[in-house]
Structures are given as C-alpha cells and as structure tokens.
Chains A and B, each alone.
Chain A
C-alpha cells in the first residue's frame, strides 16, 4: 500500500448504528486530519492530530469521536448520526513541524446516513 488509504470506501448506516472509519498513511508523516466534504460546501476541517495528540477540534459534534493510536493510523468513530452527516469523509496526512507542508489525501469514505 502506498500513500493514504481509507476503509471502507462506501458506508450506509442507520441513525442508531455505530461504525468506524479507518485511515492509514504510509508516508512516514506525523500529522493526520479528518475533513468533511458535503455537497456545495467547502471542505471542512474536523480534527487534527500531531504526533498522536489532538491539536484541533473544529467544533465537531460529539457523535463524531476521533482516535489516533499512532502516527500512521487514524479512526473516526460514528454513533447516532443524523442524515445531514451524509458526506464524503476525507483523511489526510502531512509532515508536521514546518508550516506550509502539503497534505496528502486518501480517497475518502462516502457515508450515507438513512
């Protein structure tokens, strides 16, 4: 595997389900991110992790719970979601410590909440 991978690529879940999105980066980076991309909206940053520590929570509802067990893996745990949470969830990674380093993105998980 190379770059940034995400699983699953597609997910359909009911509002009472609990599911998790997984992201793995194979680039040796030390920062990881979750973004939400909804139709006709700009990409929204959700969470940032630097060296496994959460450094940014962009006012995300608690029904989204991130977990970063090491610098290569990032999870997004989902529970009691709403239909408006349906979106493309993108994971990214970068080399933290120097401002302006480019982020590399995974292919995303297309989430549909029914």
Chain B
C-alpha cells in the first residue's frame, strides 16, 4: 500500500523567510512518481512538480526547490524568500507504475505567509 505523510499541519512565517515543507512517502514499488500541488484559497489544485523514482537530482524553479532523497523516502519542498502569494495549502502526492492513475495524497500543509 502507498502512503504519504505530511507531518506539518500548519506553518506560519513572515514574508522573506525561507520555509521547508516536509513529505515522507511509503511504497514497495521500485518505480513511482512524486508530485507537489498548491491549493490557494480559490480551491483549484495547481500542479507544481513531478519526480520519478529514478531521478534523484534536486530541482530548482525560481524561488521553489525540491529535495528528493530515496534513502529517507522524503521529497521536501522549500520556498525561498516567501511571499504573501505563497499562502496556500500544499499537497504532496504519490503514484506507482502499477497503480493505474491513482494518486495518493498527503493531508496537506497549510502555509501562511504574513506581511
């Protein structure tokens, strides 16, 4: 069975601070895919990134960066110099090659960035 754990329920930071959102996953499959989605107050989940299990290279996109470590089954997400517009709920998700199209989501981390 697959499982995604986001231990941080809520995080509050002041603008310009760096913040890291944790994601730990469980799967017995050797081929799997990890995702991060952002859900602003409007409700729509916005796709941020996909990572497959064979690519452990970390990725940076502007102020966003992702740290994938298979040794600890973690796929953490860091926002550098946070902004008020980053306030949202962030979800980590997992799917496996044999799991058709099923995405397993974590419970989400609510990030509030205060001015």
Contacts and interface: CB of A to CB of B under 8 A. Distances in A.
A104 B96 CA distance: 18
Interface string B76-113: 00000000000000010001111111110111100000
A31 B43 contact: no
B101 to A, nearest CB: 6
B26 to A, nearest CB: 14
A94 B52 CA distance: 17
A42 B107 contact: yes
A48 B101 contact: yes
Interface in A23-61: 31, 33, 40-43, 45, 48, 50, 55-56
A103 interface: yes
Count class of interface residues, chain B: 20 to 34
Count class of interface residues, chain A: 20 to 34
A42 to B, nearest CB: 5
Contact of A43 (B42, B44, B50, B105): B105
Interface in A61-114: 88, 90, 92, 94, 96, 99-108, 110
A100 B100 contact: no
B43 A108 contact: yes
Contacts of A103: 47, 101, 103
Nearest to B107: A42
Interface of A: 31, 33, 40-43, 45, 48, 50, 55-56, 88, 90, 92, 94, 96, 99-108, 110
